[in-house]
Amino acid sequence: MQRDQQDPLAKFKEEFFVEPGTIYMDGNSLGLMSKRAETKLIGLMDSWKQFGIEGWTEGEHPWFTLAETLSEKAAPLFGAKAHEVMVTGSITSNIHQMLSTVYAPTDERFVILVDELNFPSDIYAVESHLRLRGQDPAIAMRKVPSRDGYTLELEDILAEMKDDVAVLLLPSVLYRSGQLLPLREITEAAHAKGIIAGFDLAHSAGAMPHDLHDEGVDFAVWCHYKYMNSGPGGTGGLYLHERHHDLNPGIAGWFGSDKAKQFDMDHSFTKAEGAGAYQVGTPNIFSMAPLIGSLELFEEAGIDKIRSKSLELTTMLREKLAALVPSLIDVTPKADDQRGGHIALAHPEAARICKALKKAGIVPDFRAPDIIRLAPIAFYTSFEDVEKVALALQDIIEDELYKEFSNERNVVA
């Protein structure tokens, strides 16, 4: 296909392990392994084999400062200063850390604002944190409502920013519909009301550029295992604007210590400078290792080019599906600046259709109760792949090939 021949990122497909005969459209849930990720993981395993405990300070990637090294390389992807980013924890643990650090409820201002479409783990974390702080989640957690069950309106978000809201925690991209929220407008409105603005970047990290520092975002959390291809359960990331770096970590641990004093074994905590202070325990070196290779690829490809190709791929896919399979309802916003890296299609037989796609060699993503998510990834999806997916969906639905499967999700969906 001519568009593939002209694609400046086409060469990167060779960097990834793509199962022969398979088109992988689930990189918004778990990215594929890159060859460099494998090499870096094996390399760090070898450093353990070669150096033993000396691996903390010896070898190509000393473990003691690996998180800081990776954070500095990741920061440009988030429009952040190097000392505002830390590769650490997971989304859920980092939500607990950020709320423990910045949430300071008073009798007048105690509400954490979330939304009714958010990923369950974020809600669980907020609820449990509120209980730990002596708050009743039924009162102290407020959800922005959705008008259509798929998206949020900026007007409705702003309307819920009442005088009793202390912190908001919203997704940058809604995991089901792919809607991209306007972070700058939300942050500015929050600050005008004295509200701390935080975001979960799970579905935008690695899919598009960010501008967290200049937009004034207070804190953010994300994972690296989706668009950033760091592997299942890979170490996550957090961002805390430098204006908050005077705050002691709500959850303190020894890897949040000043590294020059960490091994003094003093019981008085001396926090590290910048976002490093908000680490807790010893970093999982093998879970960070693949990210070394992944960040090399991002540096070479460029996040702007990745975003541009992603938009081209998703535009092509949704246009072909609209023409070939009109029974699939595209619930992702149309405008480029209002959508992330995947498209979401609603259909009452969604679970069965996803199973039929897998039988046809295409890996999609199902989200209950009726959503098919498709994410053509700029690194390893071709325009020809997109055309094949559209044609496969046409065959599956027109010929009712999905009827041989049950319309129930698998244990892991």
| Annotated binding residue 326 | no
Peptide bond into 369 cis (omega under 30): yes
Identify whether the C-beta of residue 49 lies closer than 8 Å to the C-beta of residue 70: no
| Annotated binding residue 211 | no
| Annotated binding residue 203 | yes
| Annotated binding residue 91 | yes
| Annotated binding residue 218 | no
| Annotated binding residue 406 | no
What type of residue sits at position 161?
M
The contacts found for 221-227 with CB under 8 angstroms, 24 or more apart, are 221/91, 221/94, 221/95, 221/98, 222/91, 223/90, 223/91, 224/87, 224/291, 224/294, 225/30, 225/31, 226/27, 226/28, 226/29, 226/30, 226/31, 226/202, 227/27, 227/28, 227/31, 227/203, 227/341, 227/377
| Annotated binding residue 122 | yes
| Annotated binding residue 92 | yes
Tokens representing residue 216 in the block? 């004034």
85-87 and 237-240 strand pairing? antiparallel
| Annotated binding residue 199 | no
| Annotated binding residue 121 | yes
| Annotated binding residue 182 | no
Task: Please give the annotated binding residues, written as ranges.
Answer: 91-92, 119-122, 200, 203, 225, 254, 282
Question: What residue numbers does the annotated binding site for pyridoxal 5'-phosphate cover?
Answer: 91-92, 119-122, 200, 203, 225, 254, 282
